[in-house]
A and B are shown apart, each in its own frame.
Chain A
């Protein structure tokens, strides 16, 4: 394989892996801060137990999010140095802001929160929880602003062969970003919500026949998770629709391939499922179960408008951005070859459907869990814990599918051209890669994947252990007789 292909696999694997940790961290940190607020305000021990239990799981997960995030940042310079040189002027700014404004806050106040129990006044300690959790959201904002610039470059002019930023405000308020941020952050809440519902529900079910002193903790957690999940789904639908409409405008090829819409239609029908392989058909109609005119509505809020198909778009792209790659030896095998403007159809078509389908499944699991546990009931059947377990997995799948769709759907571009136009500001993925040897990328691809696999197993083992341990596992029993010399013992220590 060539450097380009290896580098793309590496970026894909490390990003997807990183994004298994990130949404849970974002969602859970805000919810834990909320639980702690409830405890400080009411003094109810139930909320303290919730804070401690979910906080512990948050920490196990957070560590992995941080260490895999460093890989993401360094990778731009290591494997995508041509990209970094080309876009650094604008893309680097939100990344630097994320570090200075958000990530410093996040890591410092997390340390204060972990070790500050009993050492800080209650309210100051609570403020640390909020500083940490809101900073995770701010981090997401800056990273998504950077990513959105790759999807839809704004705030720049083309000078001396590369984009020069001329408005940071435009970059930070890119409409692509303003749509992507609520969608992604809400997706994070959906993940955390399903996590709460699944684990709390399992605990409720496991001790359903005994008088369990912690039942109130699990009930509150489950109800909280259920409601957050339901609200999150509603927001996801609305923001997803906003994002989709922008994409029809800004990246028509991505949306056409998400729908496997080969020919321009007016009005265009929405494909629910396809029978047969979307790729093998060579962009011929394989759609089945279509909903007439729905795609037109999704694209333009009007049931009768035209939606452009892949084959017409290819012609347009060739006219605007060229038919062949430049004859540059740095492009390797692709130098001088025709440009393929159609992203991988199976990936975009199914990625889009898996995102929506699994998102809906996760909301359905939340609704069902709320319904069957209404007024203190606890279901008896084995189906209940099984459903909850599946419920935890579904939003993760939806999130990952959404990202794969978004990023694969912009190929062959790494910086997608802005159709309304800043001349010259786009970049093909093939041009972005470093001039390094394939051996170097092989080494990193293999070692990173192996380390990630091992750590993934360790994390799941630890989460499982702490989940099973329940409240007793995170709250030490009160000391029977306190040693007078021992009053200064750390409340929390590694």
Chain B
């Protein structure tokens, strides 16, 4: 395998890692007003992701940065081509990031309600945005030979990319509910598990719709296999939730998103953005890639850096492995 292909896989891996990790913390935020019946329960929910959400978000930053380094053409065409959706995504992430930190800094119900809303919108919009972005890169943009968008500012907003947006939000919802079922105790745990199980068959439909669409338009034989794995994993997750095996259900959902991601990126290769106006002007991985020297350099960095990241991030999850419930939440203490 040449380095361009390797880096295509690495980029896909960063995006899949991001979808897996931030998928559940988005889901927790999306469900904040649904599952959290009072402030203490909402605090339990926020604290299940408190120590890890920031590290999860770095996967997005690294996915973007690695695209810039390995495939500047891809990064430039996709990010300028889908300018407005990315802007909305950024605004939501800005609000969400400060909301976690600021929510508990003032002891007032109105203050917390405001930030709860920011967390909720800030958790709904980014998966919609990332879903739109990734489905755009797979389903294509109207590109000219230079890789610039020829369509209007809304070229990335089509029914098929909007399906991609809903697909990822649906996944995040189920993934978040399963994570809460895994990380909380008592009534909240039961409610989260029930919700995950009830939502799963409905909320994952858009994702399978997207996968079938991509498979039909761009797929290869082997991506049909990974698609089948995704279907099986979803069924497994549902079955394990029924049996109160939340950890296994959560892991199965992880397999599901990995299989879905591999299907999408596998169907895309060797293009990185198909052109919707003329097949000849599609952007390919080889055209979009950096030179061999740069790819070698970042291969070394990733080869040493990425395993270390997995180890210490894994350790974080281990340190904070305990389930938490309303009884663990300390009194609010802020300056008067």
Bind each other: yes
Does chain A have a CB within 8 A of B91?
A: yes
Known: A100-B309, A489-B330. A71 touches B94 (CB 8 A): yes
Question: What is the CA–CA distance of A63 and B98 in the complex, to the nearest angstrom?
Answer: 5
Contacts A88-B68, A95-B65, A107-B58 known; 14 new A-B pairs at CB < 8 A: A66-B57, A71-B94, A74-B86, A77-B79, A88-B69, A100-B302, A100-B306, A104-B62, A119-B320, A440-B84, A440-B87, A462-B105, A489-B330, A493-B104
Name the 6 nearest CB pairs between A and B, nearest first. A88-B72, A469-B335, A77-B79, A473-B335, A92-B69, A81-B76
Does chain B have a CB within 8 A of A148?
A: no
Residue numbers in B under 8 Å from A87 (CB-CB): 72
Among the listed stretches A27-35, A228-236, A238-246, A442-450, which one makes contact with chain B, having 4 or more residues with CB under 8 Å of it?
A: A442-450
**Beta-carbon nearest neighbor of B334 in chain A:** A473
Does chain A have a CB within 8 A of B305?
A: yes
Among the listed stretches B42-50, B162-170, B206-214, B254-262, which one makes contact with chain A, having 4 or more residues with CB under 8 Å of it?
A: B42-50
**Beta-carbon nearest neighbor of A77 in chain B:** B79
Q: Which of A447, A451, A494 contacts B103 (CB 8 A)?
A: A494
Residue numbers in A under 8 Å from B75 (CB-CB): 76-77, 84, 88, 92
Question: What is the CA–CA distance of A93 and B294 in the complex, to the nearest angstrom?
Answer: 7
Does chain A have a CB within 8 A of B284?
A: no
Q: Could you tell me if A116 and B319 are in contact, using CB atoms closer than 8 angstroms?
A: yes
Q: Could you tell me if B320 and A92 are in contact, using CB atoms closer than 8 angstroms?
A: no
Question: What is the CA–CA distance of A474 and B226 in the complex, to the nearest angstrom?
Answer: 51
Does chain A have a CB within 8 A of B333?
A: yes
Q: Which of A64, A100, A490 contacts B301 (CB 8 A)?
A: A100
Give the interface of B toward A (CB within 8 A): 43, 46-47, 50-55, 57-58, 60-62, 64-66, 68-73, 75-80, 83-84, 86-87, 90-91, 93-95, 97-98, 100-106, 147-149, 152-153, 290-291, 293-294, 297-298, 301-302, 305-306, 309, 312-313, 316, 319-320, 322, 324, 327-331, 333-336
Does chain B have a CB within 8 A of A224?
A: no
Residue numbers in A under 8 Å from B324 (CB-CB): 490
- Would you call the interface of chain A mostly helix, strand, loop, or mixed? helix
Q: Could you tell me if B147 and A85 are in contact, using CB atoms closer than 8 angstroms?
A: yes
Question: What is the CA–CA distance of A472 and B324 in the complex, to the nearest angstrom?
Answer: 27
Q: Which of A165, A436, A473 contacts B293 (CB 8 A)?
A: A165
Question: What is the CA–CA distance of A488 and B330 in the complex, to the nearest angstrom?
Answer: 10
Q: A74 to nearest B CB, angstroms?
A: 6
Q: Could you tell me if B72 and A465 are in contact, using CB atoms closer than 8 angstroms?
A: no
Does chain B have a CB within 8 A of A98?
A: yes
Q: Could you tell me if A68 and B94 are in contact, using CB atoms closer than 8 angstroms?
A: yes
Write 27 A-B pairs (CB below 8 A) sorted by A numbering: A67-B98, A71-B90, A73-B68, A77-B64, A81-B80, A81-B148, A84-B79, A89-B291, A92-B65, A93-B69, A93-B297, A96-B62, A100-B66, A101-B301, A104-B313, A108-B316, A112-B51, A168-B297, A435-B80, A435-B148, A435-B149, A447-B91, A458-B98, A476-B331, A490-B330, A493-B47, A494-B103
Q: A126 to nearest B CB, angstroms?
A: 15
Give the interface of A toward B (CB within 8 A): 59-60, 62-64, 66-71, 73-74, 76-79, 81-82, 84-85, 87-93, 95-101, 103-105, 107-112, 114-116, 119-120, 159, 164-166, 168, 434-437, 439-440, 443-444, 447-448, 451, 455, 458-459, 462, 465-466, 468-470, 472-474, 476, 485-486, 488-494
Q: Could you tell me if A469 and B334 are in contact, using CB atoms closer than 8 angstroms?
A: yes
**Beta-carbon nearest neighbor of B46 in chain A:** A494
Known: A63-B98, A435-B149. A96 touches B54 (CB 8 A): no
Q: Which of B55, B70, B103, B105 contacts A465 (CB 8 A)?
A: B105
Residue numbers in B under 8 Å from A62 (CB-CB): 101
Known: A108-B55, A448-B91. A165 touches B68 (CB 8 A): no
Q: Could you tell me if A73 and B64 are in contact, using CB atoms closer than 8 angstroms?
A: yes
**Beta-carbon nearest neighbor of A68 in chain B:** B94
Q: B245 to nearest A CB, angstroms?
A: 24
Residue numbers in B under 8 Å from A466 (CB-CB): 105, 335
Question: What is the CA–CA distance of A440 and B47 in the complex, to the nearest angstrom?
Answer: 37
Question: What is the CA–CA distance of A101 and B90 in the complex, to the nearest angstrom?
Answer: 23
Residue numbers in B under 8 Å from A78 (CB-CB): 79-80, 83, 86-87
**Beta-carbon nearest neighbor of B90 in chain A:** A71
Q: Which of B79, B291, B320, B336 contacts A81 (CB 8 A)?
A: B79
Q: Which of A100, A435, A488 contacts B62 (CB 8 A)?
A: A100
